[in-house]
Amino acid sequence: MRGTRINFIGMAVAIVALYGACTDDVEGGDPSGLAVSGQVIDFETGQVVTGTASVSTRGLDPAPVVIVDGAAFSMEPIPANSVFHVLSAAPPTHRATYTAVEVIGASLEGIQVRALGETYIASLASGFGVTPSAARGILLARAVDAAGAPRAGVPGAAFTVPPGARGPFFLDAQLQPAASATETSASGWVVFFEIEAGLVGLTATATAQVTMEMALSPVAPAAATIADVKITDGANVLPTNVSFSQQVRPIFQLRGCEACHAGNGTGRDLGNLSLQGSASLIYRELVEELALTAGPKRVDLQMPEQSLVLTMPSAEDPPDRHPNITFTGPNDPDYQLILVWIREGARNN
């Protein structure tokens, strides 16, 4: 992966405030057997929820074993270099909430998964004059800068509104509805109601002066989803003249793909794909092996976005058979490098 790193990704309905220690570095342990532990807390107050929480995962196959004790939870094994979502709730007081977690090369201890309280959701709906339907979900997204700090001043006009959704609405610095606000406050939070079930990822409008990167996150009826949206000044500029040997091949090493697609690894066994060896060997595996066969291709020159090398490690609805999610979404820098390489003809350069 890109180093041992913890990211706040689309924290579906519960902001995963990844505070706490990282242990079990991949270099000194089993990269396929990492663990995540923490507590479910209230989004508004930051206090641990009362009663017994329910916690499950989405995006890992097979699903890890989850143990819950009150508001505390632990789960394992978690493959290294995985993006997945924690679904937490504490009925009847707290609604089911999706939170994205990214595990790079270390276990995560003491993370805080925030769930939305039912009374808080009612106050948001009242404050913004919205009547949420049971068939759709709620999205709370926090605009952050490159360092992960909340970013104020992002205008509502910069956000592409998901189909059929109501918003954007904004929370003030105390996480309360600011009905007249037209941009993010010091808290960075923006709210959308009536999000269609499926996957959602906020992007900037064509005229916006910023770029947005958000992990694709699940939305479910009558549930909430929380996400971080990385805001970068300036329009998104795709790379050019991408080199397979110098730019694409290292992705498979740094993002953990090579470890799985090698030897007796799951990817070599189930996907019949090896990403270990010379650049020429990996190129043949990706570009030439399925080039003339019917059906999906690992590298599809006619429909680059449909290439298996992009879709299999990405979030999909319904999910594919890939055991984990590697790319946060279409704006993931590594995803874009591979996409441009394919658009440029998937050269062996």
**One-letter-per-residue 3-state SS of 30-94:** CCCCEEEEEEEEECCCCCECCCCCEEEEECCCCCCEEEEECCEEEEEEECCCEEEEEEEEECCCE
Q: Looking at domain 6-116, which CATH architecture does it have?
A: Sandwich (2.60)
Structure tokens at 176: 């309360």
Task: Average the pLDDT over 224-244 and give the result.
Answer: 93
| 224-233/94-103 β-pairing | parallel
| pLDDT at position 23 | 35
Q: Which two tokens stand for residue 102?
A: 């990214």
With residues binned 3-state (H G I as helix, E B as strand, rest as coil), the percentages for the chain, rounded to 5, are 20, 30, 50
Could you tell me if 84 and 62 are in contact, meaning their C-beta atoms sit under 8 angstroms apart?
no
Q: What is the pLDDT of residue 3?
A: 32
Of 3-12, 74-83, 128-137, the one with minimum mean pLDDT is 3-12
pLDDT of residue 203: 94
Mean pLDDT for all residues in the chain = 88
E-strand spans in the chain? 6-8, 16-17, 22-23, 34-42, 54-58, 65-69, 72-78, 82-90, 94-103, 107-115, 137-144, 166-170, 189-195, 198-200, 210-214, 217-219, 224-233
For the cut 80, the answer to whether the pLDDT of residue 219 exceeds it is yes
Chain centre to alpha carbon of residue 225: 11
Tokens encoding 310: 């992009």
Contact 129, 167 (CB under 8 A): no
CA dist., res. 202 & res. 36, Å (int): 26
Predicted local distance difference test score (pLDDT) of residue 32: 57
Residue 192 has pLDDT above 60, yes or no: yes
Q: What is the CATH number of domain 119-233?
A: 2.60.40
Question: What is the Cα–Cα distance from 222 to 50, expressed in whole angstroms?
Answer: 21
Residue 16 or residue 153, greater confidence: 153
Residue 234: pLDDT over 60 = yes
Enter the pTM of the model.
Answer: 0.83
Going from N- to C-terminal start, the domains of the chain cover 6-116, 119-233, 244-343
User: Is the pLDDT reported for residue 268 higher than 80?
Assistant: no
| Of the listed ranges 78-87, 115-124, 165-174, the one predicted with least confidence | 78-87
pLDDT tens string 269-309: 667 888 988 999 999 999 988 766 777 899 999 999 999 99
What pairs with residue 22 in β-bridges? 108
Partner residues linked to 191 by β-bridges: 140, 169
- What pLDDT shows up at residue 10? 35
Mean pLDDT of 55-61: 94
6-116 shares its CATH topology with 119-233: yes
